[in-house]
Structure 1
Amino acid sequence: MADLNGKIAIVTGASKGVGAAVTRRFVEGGAKVVAGARSRDRLETLSREYPDQILPVTCDITQHDQVKRLIDTGMNAFGRLDILVNNAGVGRFGKVQELTEEDWDEMMDINLKGVFLTCKHAIPHLVEQKGHIVNVSSVAGTVAFPGGGGYCASKFGLMALSDVLTQELKKNEVKVNTICPGSIQTEFSDDPKSYALTAEQVAETIWTMVTAPAGVIYNQVIMRPQVPPEFQK
C-alpha cells in the first residue's frame, strides 16, 4: 500500500506536535482524518488547512462517553475506520516521593487508560477493515530513568497492552504497531535538544508503518535522534 487513498484514520492528541504532524502526513497521503484532542481552537485551526479531509472532534480520551462519541462521529461521517493512532500523552517528572497523586493519575489516565478506551471502541470497526492500530509509546517504555517513575510505568504498561493487542487481533489481521521515539522537538519538552527528533520525522515513520507492504508488520520501532559528536560524552 503506497498511499492511504480512501482510508479513514482517527488520531488522538491531534491538535499539536506529533499528532498534528501525523494528521497532516495522512491527509497528504490521501486519507481523511478524524482529529481528536481537548483543544477545540487548535483542532479547528488545523482542520482549516484541509477543510474537506480533517474532521475535528473535541475529546478527552480519559472519559468513556467522549471516546465513544469520537469513534461514533467518525463512523457516522465516513462509514468506516481503517487506522487508529493513539498519540495523546502527558509526562510529569520527578522522584517518586515528589510526584503528586494527581500527577500519577493523570499519566495513567491519558497514557494508558485512554488507549484502552479508544481501542475498546475502535476494534470492532478495525476488524471489519483489517485495519491498523499505532500506539505512540516512548523510549521510556523500554528503559527506565530516575525521575520517570510515573511516566515510565505508564509507557511500560502501554508496551504490554500493545503486545496483548497484537496477540488478540492477529487472527483478525488487524496490525498493531508501537513506536518508541526518543526526545522530540515539541511542546512536550520544556527544553528540547537542538538535535532532537522533529514531529515530522516521527510522523514519517508512522506513515511508513501504516503503509507497509502487504504481509509486513513493523511491530515495534525504537527511534532516537542521532547525537552529533560534539554532544556525545
Structure 2
Amino acid sequence: MTTHSPIKTALVTGASKGLGKEIVRRFASAGINVLATARSVDKLKQLEEEFPNHVIHFPGDISDSNHVKSMVEQVIDSFGRLDFVINNAGLAHFSPVEDLTESQWDEMMNINLKAAFLTCKYAIPHLKKTQGHIVNISSVAGTEAFARGGGYCASKFGMMALSDALTQELKPHYVKVSTLCPGSIQTEFSSNPKSYSLQASDVAESVYQIITAPANMIIGRVIMRPVVPIDFQNKK
C-alpha cells in the first residue's frame, strides 16, 4: 500500500508584490499550500485567483498581534498544519538619522522586525509539530550598515539577531531557521533599481531551494548579490 506525504503548508508575509509574490507563486507551483498576507486586498485576491487550489489570502497589519494570531489560526483551520514561515514583509525610509522621523523609525521596526517576531511567536508551536522551517528575509543591509540607512539597517541587523536566537532555541525541536540576505532586487521596493539587480523570481527560487534542502542539513545564512557587469565595475 502506497502512503502519500501530506501537502506542506506555508505562511508568506509581504506577499502582494515583489519578492513575496514570487515566493507565493513558486511555492504554489510546486504544490505547496500558502496563506498569503499583506495589506493590499486586491493584489492578494489576484494571487488567490491565479492559484485557487493552493493559495488563500488573509490581508491585514502583521505588526498587530491580534491579526497575527488570527492569521496563524487561519492557516491551521484551512490546511490543518504549518510547515514553513517566510518572513518577507519589509519597508524602508532612507535618511540621515537626524532627519529620520520617529514615525518612520517606528514603521520600519514594526514591519521589518516586530512583525517577524510576532509571526514566529505564534507559529512556533505549530512548526514544532511538523518539524518545520522559518526563513527570514533580511538583506545585505543586515550585514553592512551604510549612511542614510540607520533605521533600515538597524531593523535588518535585528532580524539577523532574531534568527540566530531562534536557531539556538529551535534546534532541539528539529525546526530549522534560515536567513536570506539579498542585495538589490528588481522590485517596487527600490525606486531606481540598477539594471543588473537580482530578479525577484531568482531570489524566490533560492527560498524554495532552502526549504527543500536535504532534511539532514540546515542552510543558516545566505548572502546574495548580483553579478555586476564589468562596465559598471569600472565606473567611479
TM-score range, shorter chain: over 0.9
Q: 5+ residue gaps in structure 2?
A: none
1:169 maps onto 2:165 in alignment: no
Q: TM-score, normalised by structure 1?
A: 0.97
1:214 to partner: Cα distance: 1.6
| Partner Cα distance (1:57, 1:151) in 2 | 26
SS in 2 for 1:52: coil
Q: TM-score, normalised by structure 2?
A: 0.96
SS in 2 for 1:146: coil
- Seen in structure 2, the aligned counterparts of structure 1 residues 147 and 5 have a Cα distance that, compared at 3 Å, is farther
Report the residue type matching 2:204 in the other structure: A
Equivalent residue runs for 1:92-171 within 5 Å: 92-171=93-172
Runs (4 or more) in structure 1 with deviation over 6 Å come to: none
Residue 186 of structure 2: aligned partner: 185
8 Å CA contact 1:5–1:30 kept in 2: the answer is: no
1:59 to partner: Cα distance: 2.1
| Partner Cα distance (1:5, 1:163) in 2 | 29
| Partner Cα distance (2:60, 2:116) in 1 | 13
1:211 to partner: Cα distance: 0.3
CA displacement, residues 49-99 of structure 1 (integer Å, 9 cap, x when unaligned): 011110000121110011111101111011100000000000100100010
Report the residue type matching 1:105 in the other structure: D
Question: % of aligned pairs identical?
Answer: 57
SS in 1 for 2:58: strand
Residue 76 of structure 1: aligned partner: 77
For the aligned residue pairs, the C-alpha RMSD in angstroms reads 0.9
| Partner Cα distance (1:38, 1:102) in 2 | 18
Q: 5+ residue gaps in structure 1?
A: none
1:140 to partner: Cα distance: 0.1
Alignment: residue pair count: 230
Report the residue type matching 1:153 in the other structure: A
| Partner Cα distance (1:191, 1:209) in 2 | 29
